[in-house]
Structure 1
Amino acid sequence: MPQRVVAIDGPAGAGKTTVARVLAARLGYTYLPSGTFYRALAWRALRAGTALDDERALAELADATAIEVRVEGDGRCRALVDGVDVTGALGGSAVGEAASRISVFPAVRRRMVALQRRFAEGRPVVAEGRDMASVVFADAEHKFYLDATVEERARRRAADLRALGEPADEARLAAELAARDSRDSSRQAAPLCQAEGAVRVDTTGLSVEEVVTRLLGEIRRGRQTS
């Protein structure tokens, strides 16, 4: 029986986070931000001075670190690492780049997948990430793949960074996103891809509300035919 999960995959900047948060609120589901788990471990690795290319050391660090993600009533997430709230430290570009680098390792992904599945136990969720529909929740009730042009995604990422008070060059961000796409889609463990049965939605030029409306329509149609 399919899990009560709406799984949303896609590259960075495709709109997954905002769309998933709004969609979860509309459905009365819990929002599951998979990237927060990786960012929390990346933050811990940076603090510990763990080499980001040392899979064994990263796996040991993951096993020794207590990572908890809590979702508030408004859909906002809080991340605790060994009991300390580190939410405010996870949004920057350095942590994001580190999270992307450590996510290529199978041992790290196994640990994060276990945490994500535990998070979803006993409750319906809208999960967003890069392998939600293909790996973590392969039996999800509804699957989507969001995409957008790299230029559009760079504009969105630049706006996010500026909101955090960080400088942002859209051309540089576009190049970084293209490199990350290549890394994510070619990694050995759970490469970024459109899962079988997932509905692809190009979010270029669309508002959050337009994307959410499209996804809600697909979900309703799926329920009517099931």
Structure 2
Amino acid sequence: MSGHLAARPPTVAVISATPASVEPARTALAEGFPEASVWNLLDDRLLSDAEAAGGLTPALSDRMLSLIGYAVHGGADAVLLSCSLYGPVLEQARREHGLPMQSSDQELFAEFSRRRFGSVLLLGHLAPAVQDSVNRLKRLLSATERAERTEVTGHTASGAAMAAAHQDLDALETSLAEAATPYLKEVDAVALGMFSLSPASAGVERALGLPVLSAPLLAARALRERFAAEAGDSRGGPR
């Protein structure tokens, strides 16, 4: 990074696909990347359009790439995506822009690999996003030779999207706990695969008696580490 950038707080652009993800991302960055200045960008049709299309399409990927480009050209020093479905877009974005970037659940998945649970239930409120997350977690575990010992199941929680949108924490906790209850004898841990679900993690953990991991704080800390490493690599020259 150049000297003038090092003299001011780094600007982290958080790109969200639902308003319910904005505050969890802000809270996580305040704890996990406290020196960052947060810039929120929201396209609140990214999820509904993906649901209507049955998942991530080339046109939607291009739309996210445009948002990332807007953030970069607007002065962002790092980018955090708060929507798990759009994480695969980051590989191309990193090649194009060369900035530290973090997907919402990349570090969450790494944490599951480190903790070596025998079975994981991944909860979400959008079926294409849940299936995408399950597939990517399985690929990660396979790459680390954990696939044969870890079962990954995905399930959508009815009512979770509405509860998150209305910031109704009680309803959100109830929706997620009820969705997980049929799997209690089969799983060792629960993953909340969307930022918007993360405020319920502690309550759901109490209700289920199982470890419940959520993504925002892990992502914020990972982005801070990535930013520090890349800033160190480029010290003494322009970005």
User: Shorter chain as normaliser: what TM range?
Assistant: 0.3 to 0.5
TM-score (norm 2): 0.37
Taking structure 1 as the reference length, what is the TM-score of the superposition? Answer: 0.38
| Structure with the higher helix share, 1 or 2 | 2
Which has the greater radius of gyration? 2
Which gives a bigger RCO, structure 1 or 2 (Cα 8 Å, sep 6+)? 1
